[in-house]
Each structure stands twice: as structure tokens, then as C-alpha cells.
Amino acid sequence: MSKITLDSDTSRATPTPKPGKRVTAPAIQARKQDGKVDEPIVMLTAYTMRMAQLLDAHCDMILVGDSLGQVIYGLDSTIPVSLDMMCNHGAAVVRGSWHAMIIVDMPFGSYEQSPAQAFESASRIMKETGCAAVKLEGGEAMAETIAFLTSRGIPVMGHVGLTPQAVNMLGGYRARGRDDSEEAKILADAKAVCDAGAFSLVAEGVMEPIADKLAAQCPVPVIGIGASKNCDGQVLVTEDMLGLFERTARFVKVYHNLAEQISSAVETYAGEVKDRSFPTSDQTYRPKK
């Protein structure tokens, strides 16, 4: 068996774990006591080792979302995302972290057919990435599958409300819960997911009063995205909140204009290359005298 040795002085692929223990699904679920969470749960997305390193100390959970289809691959939706993509990026994020619980999205088509198909896909994800849980979209229709997975040792995070994998059925990405029938479905979906054994759930793009009801009624932590500040935690796509894209959803708060900084740095670099002011003696190797 070949052995790979990394030079810690030069290699980028050397996470430096600190002594500690990863956050677990039972620990997240236990954060909600008597219907409330004392300290809201922090969650962001990551798709690469380096981003995971930067987020890890500040997050309780890191989601390797199928949003990587748009963010990393430039796809129009999450529908084309494959298991291979999720496994590759999930493994990178696990390697770059030591503290946060890592959850990997199950991509469209990898779990809907049957509980057995879902187990095959989820077990592959967990084996190949080392993640602690999977996330899947859907409510009542997925309850049997969630129960099947959790009874076989696979922690599951649910996802209700706006479910991007169902965008073709929903007719777009608009917020859900605008009428009584939609509200009733969201509440019923959330109850079914919780009853099936999910340790937490994401509530995406739902009207604020409905999100408040979910947080109050669900026995497990409800993580909001475009929902309510009263949710038990919040999640955003990291690249959105860092200002890497010109267009973002209404629910995104941009905390930093990283795109502008990157563009400015590259402009400076390009100018120095063209006028030969880079590299200098500090960036070149010369023979010793």
C-alpha cells in the first residue's frame, strides 16, 4: 500500500484539527428542550476543503448542499446534480473540518423511488464522505423513507416548504404558504418528517407566520432559510452571504462584497504582470552565493 506524506509547510491540503469532538445529530436534536432552543443553531454551506476550514469554528452544522449545482457548476437548477458530485464535495468538506456536523444533500433521483434506493444512496454518501447525516427534501411522501433510514442508523435532516428539487412541480422559487391549503400542507409535512425520526429540518421560503408555527410545534430544531428569526437556527448559502453573486434571493443578507475584492485583486495582479513589476525578488528563487 502506498503512503502519501504531505509537507505541512507547503501543502494546502493540511487541515489542522484542534482537540475536540464533532457535533452529532443527537446533540443537535437535544439543543431543543421544551419547545425552544436557548442558543440558535448556526449553519452554512460549503463545497470545498478550504471553505470548510474557514467556516468550521463558527458553525454548528455545515451543509454540503446540492446548491453546488448552481454555485460550483453553473447549472440552472439542482436537478442535474449527481451522487458522484455530492460524494466528492462532501468528502472534501469533511477533510477540511473537525468540529461542525457535516450534512450532505441527497440529490434528485437518488432517494425518491423507494426506501431501499434511498438507503443505498445514503449509505454510499456516508461511506465515501465520512459525513454525519444526509438531508432530503419532501414531507409526508418521504416519511416512510425517513423512518427506513433512521431505523437503520442513518441520521436524516428533513426539508419542507420551498423544495428546489421540486421546482418543476412548484412552478418556480416563490415563497410557499400563501394560502390556507399551502400552509396546511407545510405543517402536515413537517409533522410527518418529525414523526418519522428526522433529527432536524430545514424550512425554506415559507411565510413568516408559518415558520413561527413550525418552530413552536416541531419537537426537533427547525433551521430557517427565508423563514423567520424565530426559527431554532439559520442557514444560508455561503457564497450568497459573502457577496460573490450579483443576484441573490430576497432572504439573503450580504455580509461582505467579496466579489468586488476579488475583482480588484485580480485587476492589480494583471496590471503587475503586464508591467513586469511581478514577480519581484521576494517571489523568485536565486542561487546562493
Q: Which of 193, 198, 174, 184 is nearest to 250 (CA)?
A: 174
C-alpha grid cell, residue 283 = 517571489
Is 66 marked as binding a ligand? Answer: yes
Q: Does the annotation count 204 as an active-site position?
A: yes
Per-residue pLDDT tens over the stretch 60-80:
999 999 999 999 999 999 999
Is 84 marked as binding a ligand? Answer: no
Is 180 marked as binding a ligand? Answer: no
In a domain, 11, yes or no: no
In a domain, 6, yes or no: no
Is 67 marked as binding a ligand? Answer: yes
Active-site pick, 128, 204, 239, 267: 204
Is 105 marked as binding a ligand? Answer: yes
Q: Which of 15, 2, 71 is nearest to 244 (CA)?
A: 71
In a domain, 265, yes or no: no
In a domain, 2, yes or no: no
Domain that holds residue 86: 25-241
The CATH number for 184's domain is: 3.20.20.60
Residues 6+ apart with CB under 8 A from 102: 52, 61, 62, 64, 90, 93, 94, 129, 130, 131, 132, 133
With 60 as the cut, is the pLDDT of residue 208 above it?
A: yes
With 90 as the cut, is the pLDDT of residue 145 above it?
A: yes
* Bridge-based pairing state of the strands 222-225 and 36-37: unpaired
Q: Which residue has the cell 412552478?
A: 171
Amino acid at 235: V
Across the range 2-30, mean pLDDT stands at 68
In a domain, 280, yes or no: no
Position 132 scores a pLDDT of 98
Position 166 scores a pLDDT of 66
Total number of domains constituting the chain: 1
Q: Residue 5 — very low, low, confident or very high, per pLDDT cuts 50/70/90?
A: very low
Q: Residue 271 — very low, low, confident or very high, per pLDDT cuts 50/70/90?
A: very high
Answer for the pair 204, 194: CB distance below 8 angstroms, yes or no: no
In a domain, 197, yes or no: yes
In a domain, 17, yes or no: no
In a domain, 7, yes or no: no
Per-residue pLDDT tens over the stretch 160-191:
998 877 666 666 657 776 889 999 999 999 99
Distance between CA 4 and CA 220 in Å, rounded? Answer: 42
Percent of all residues in the chain with a pLDDT value above 90, rounded to a whole number: 83
Distance between CA 235 and CA 146 in Å, rounded? Answer: 21
